[in-house]
Structure 1
Amino acid sequence: MSDELKELKEKLFSARKNGWDRISAEDAAGIDGYCEDYKRFLDAGKTERLCAKEIVALAEQAGYVPYERGMALKTGDKVYVCNRGKGVMLAHLGRRPLDAGAQIAAAHIDSPRLDLKPNPLYEDGELAYFKTHYYGGIRKYQWPTIPLELHGVVALKDGTSVAVNIGGDDGDPRLVITDLLPHLGAEQGRKPLAEAIPAENLNLLLGSRPVAGEGSDRVKLAIMQLLHDKYGILEDDFTSAELEAVPAVKACDIGLDRSLIGSYGHDDRVCGYAALRALLDLEETPEKTAVCVLADKEEIGSDGVTGMQSAAFDTFMEDLCDAQEVPLRVCFEKSFCLSADVTAAFDPNFAEAYEKRNAAFLNYGIGLCKYTGARGKSGASDADAETVAYVRRVFDEAGVIWQIAELGKVDLGGGGTVAMYMANRNITTLDAGVPVLSMHAPFETVSKLDCYETYLGMKAVYRSVF
């Protein structure tokens, strides 16, 4: 190849390359430190309630205070609102008033899981079980035969709530969903993956030891007695309980080179943590108010009072605007939101599902997604060219490693984020997040480099002016 042709290609062609070929030794050290903190965050926040609790603790350590309606606000103030214990919204008041808009990062902290049914406890074959109802898009065959733990609250009639933790502490017993042995599984094996494990078979095994005496349901009674002794609850209290079964695994390094992190809940806590940490780590007051939204219910459509479609976010922002006598609509139309959600990483084992030219790759940085949605972009906000150009410029000026991608082949399906709900508020929005292997599985995998670059990207957005 002639020097002239080589120079022309370097000038005109995209020069994306593996992030490990682009970073310094100092950057590598930053990646390691950040990811150790992220793993601790994952282990502390197995559910959206536990995650919100950890977020509040980290925010208060960083000087954030609970916002109370009507409180005076000034440049540099740091406030937060915890929405019913399941979502958190934080703001660092900027130098410019809110009629100049805000710089927003929005992620979600709920993940696919198994919820207990309202009447969950039963006995069959002298074994005790909990019935479950899966939450979000799971592949049911992935959940049997792995250790599970149970977290949540039981709300009693007197108005008090009892926190439940079964399996989350060292030395605790774990729960499990059983599966059919291969010797008897020929018929099951002939079924499609989606049908081999019916939802009604996702029952948590609780125990087998009956109470002494005669009569029926003695194992169920023994389990209920254990729960009553520890938590003071009765069987009827399950009707006002919110209990979630999640994988009993801790976040860990993956690979001989320790370049990856494996865990439950990367979707979307990997982006939620990046958005939070970037806000907490702002060294100076930002030019425009920086807002971090960590919502619930994204995995089931963002509905409900803690989801992104609720008025909770509007109320929070309107309160901030009222303190400066700024109409909310004026703030929104001048605001920018990075919808921080994961994207699918190219997996060579399933290459047929991806369009390789437009796939996200591990170690190539934060993945921009101009649109998500399904097939013909259904359910997407579809950011305009000017918005993508703005984010490109912000990332490049900050030295953030980034790529742009789609979720997979067009006809195979798709997915959604909170982007369209922010865009529907007249907030300019673009999706961006960490590429994930085995998304929505009980154990997902991400690149440490991509985690860190996503954090740097969030920080660059908070610091910029749209």
Structure 2
Amino acid sequence: MNCLEHDSKSCWDVYSSAEDLAAMDELANRYVSFLTECKTERETIAYVRERLLKAGFVESVDHAFTADACFKSFKGKTIFIARKGKRPLSEGFRLLGAHADTPRLDLKQRPIYEDCNVSQAKTHYYGGIRKHQWMARPLALHGVVAKTDGSVVDIVIGEKPEDPVFTIPDLLPHLASKQMDLKLSEAFEGEKLNIIMGHAPAPEEIEAKKTGAKTCVKNRVLTLLNERYGIHETDLYSAEIQAVPAGPARFVGLDGSMIGGFGHDDRLCVFSGFEALLTAEQPEHTQIVLFWDKEEIGSEGSTGARSKFFEYCLQDLIDAWEPKARLSRVLDASKAVSADVNAALDPDYQDVHEKMNACLLGHGPTFNKFTGHRGKVGASDADFGYVAWIRGVMDKAGVPWQMAELGKVDLGGGGTVAKFLAVYGMDIIDFGPPVLSMHSPFELCSKADLYASVKAYKAFLES
């Protein structure tokens, strides 16, 4: 290649030593365990909190940050982590933000019913899913139930080998001729994504059914939930229960070079960013890592990036570490990365990408200068000088990187948390590893990209 031209580098070439390959495998094994255990945002934040405490970080109490390495979680769904740098906060911080939520199916508040001798649970899908991908596959239920006595019950069913699983039945091809003539967006209805919960009535209710009772199977399902968790149907009104793919994340391919599982978007970046934070040296600038909820539905609510949680935590940090600093000055002096995955060039669907501006699996984390859709609507467009600066950081660290857009101009588009931080004036860019089958129940990433992403985020946090 002409030395004046640019071409991205393969992570497999850059990290080809025996030492790097062994470290890559060790990291990938830990990520597979993380992805298997953490299928909801609550489980993810609980994992992060536990590891922070073991690493010596101090949890904030009454809005006070009393240590040089500290954190504050909020409603079990978002978390703010900070490590003091050598320089004062007024000279800015390095912030890495990612989101812990992922597209899935949520149980409705009154979900359980019975029809055709089958009990089912009604759902409302969360985020951008392709509905047909969630049918005729094993599902597990994860969530929490709050009772009026103040207690909270954790629910996980479908992950242990001895557990039953759940599923959404699909229409057999023999009877689907009309459905197959419809557009894909019309063929599968959200109101028909109903999960099979049970089929057999309780033995004592078989006689009741003979006398005309209509909900014996539903009652059996409620009885089993009560026996296992001590809950009643009315408790489901104050529950957050998600249907997620059952079973562990797995290595994919004869060479085990890829990782398949539910939730790479965006737990791949949560894991990579968190690993980078825990292994980074004492920084020049304060390091802040934020994991949010609700990104997949527009970063709404009190736990999303649109909320004031980050701003409130930062003000508390300033009060503790540099009381005379102004919030606006600290924000203006800071640099940030929106750690979010990008769509890898799919070998079977290359036509939806503009290949000169698409990312390849195995070529490292991907910069996305702007997001948005069709004319950059809703975009956060990174400053060109900042792009040059962060390119230099990666090159100095020897980390392979690439730059891409999310699909062709009139086809692609998406949004991240970047624009909600850009409003403060800080420099920010989207930066994360490529993924195949994004937003599906079984996404794919390269373990080489995982390894490179940890090194990239570490280089940024230490910059």
* TM-score for the superposition, normalised by structure 1: 0.95
Report the AA paired with residue 445 of structure 2: V
Rounded Cα–Cα distance in structure 2 between residues aligned with 1:461 and 1:246? 33
By how many angstroms is 1:412 displaced? 0.7
By how many angstroms is 1:15 displaced? 3.5
Say if 2:105 and 2:123, in contact at 8 Å, map to a contact too: yes
Are residues 1:44 and 2:37 paired?
A: yes
Match of 1:4 in 2: none
Rounded Cα–Cα distance in structure 2 between residues aligned with 1:275 and 1:22? 20
Match of 1:286 in 2: 283
Say if 2:159 and 2:247, in contact at 8 Å, map to a contact too: no
Match of 2:46 in 1: 53
Rounded Cα–Cα distance in structure 2 between residues aligned with 1:398 and 1:27? 15
Q: Structure 1 372/72 Cα, relative in aligned 2: closer, same or farther at 3 Å?
A: closer
Are residues 1:20 and 2:9 paired?
A: no
By how many angstroms is 1:11 displaced? 2.4
Rounded Cα–Cα distance in structure 2 between residues aligned with 1:279 and 1:291? 9
Rounded Cα–Cα distance in structure 1 between residues aligned with 2:65 and 2:423? 29
Match of 1:300 in 2: 297
Rounded Cα–Cα distance in structure 2 between residues aligned with 1:21 and 1:400? 11
Query: What is the number of equivalent residue pairs in this alignment?
Result: 453
Are residues 1:121 and 2:112 paired?
A: yes
Secondary structure at the aligned position of 1:11 is classed as coil
List per-residue Cα deviations over 1:9-67 (Å, max 9, x = no partner).
Answer: 53211132322122231222221111111111111110000111111111112111202
Rounded Cα–Cα distance in structure 2 between residues aligned with 1:113 and 1:72? 35
Are residues 1:359 and 2:351 paired?
A: no
Report the AA paired with residue 45 of structure 2: A
What is the percent sequence identity of the aligned residues? 46
Match of 2:342 in 1: 343
For 1:61-460, what aligned pairs fall within 5 Å after superposition?
61-69=54-62, 71=64, 73=66, 77-211=68-202, 212=205, 213-214=207-208, 215-282=213-280, 284-323=281-320, 324-325=322-323, 326-460=325-459
Report the AA paired with residue 356 of structure 1: K
By how many angstroms is 1:366 displaced? 0.6
By how many angstroms is 1:170 displaced? 2.9
Say if 1:249 and 1:264, in contact at 8 Å, map to a contact too: no
Rounded Cα–Cα distance in structure 2 between residues aligned with 1:54 and 1:78? 17
By how many angstroms is 1:203 displaced? 0.3
Rounded Cα–Cα distance in structure 1 between residues aligned with 2:352 and 2:7? 25
List per-residue Cα deviations over 1:410-438 (Å, max 9, x = no partner).
Answer: 10131000000010122210000010100
Rounded Cα–Cα distance in structure 1 between residues aligned with 2:11 and 2:39? 29
Match of 1:6 in 2: none
Report the AA paired with residue 117 of structure 2: E
Rounded Cα–Cα distance in structure 1 between residues aligned with 2:86 and 2:255? 44
Report the AA paired with residue 51 of structure 1: T
Secondary structure at the aligned position of 2:349 is classed as helix
Say if 2:363 and 2:402, in contact at 8 Å, map to a contact too: yes
List per-residue Cα deviations over 1:179-224 (Å, max 9, x = no partner).
Answer: 0111111111111112221001100001100123211100000000
By how many angstroms is 1:257 displaced? 1.2
Q: Structure 1 47/305 Cα, relative in aligned 2: closer, same or farther at 3 Å?
A: same
By how many angstroms is 1:70 displaced? 6.2
Q: Structure 1 335/139 Cα, relative in aligned 2: closer, same or farther at 3 Å?
A: same
RMSD of aligned C-alpha atoms? 1.2
By how many angstroms is 1:167 displaced? 1.0
By how many angstroms is 1:405 displaced? 0.5
Secondary structure at the aligned position of 1:175 is classed as coil
Rounded Cα–Cα distance in structure 2 between residues aligned with 1:61 and 1:297? 27
Q: Structure 1 32/322 Cα, relative in aligned 2: closer, same or farther at 3 Å?
A: same
Secondary structure at the aligned position of 1:411 is classed as coil
Secondary structure at the aligned position of 2:256 is classed as coil
By how many angstroms is 1:71 displaced? 4.3
Structure 2, unaligned runs of 5 or more: none
Rounded Cα–Cα distance in structure 1 between residues aligned with 2:239 and 2:282? 42
By how many angstroms is 1:249 displaced? 2.6
List per-residue Cα deviations over 1:412-465 (Å, max 9, x = no partner).
Answer: 13100000001012221000001010000000000111111111111001100x
Report the AA paired with residue 445 of structure 1: L
Rounded Cα–Cα distance in structure 1 between residues aligned with 2:51 and 2:29? 15
* TM-score for the superposition, normalised by structure 2: 0.96
Report the AA paired with residue 196 of structure 1: A
Secondary structure at the aligned position of 2:76 is classed as coil
Rounded Cα–Cα distance in structure 1 between residues aligned with 2:15 and 2:188? 45
Match of 1:3 in 2: none
Rounded Cα–Cα distance in structure 1 between residues aligned with 2:408 and 2:104? 26
Structure 1, unaligned runs of 5 or more: 1-8
By how many angstroms is 1:285 displaced? 1.4
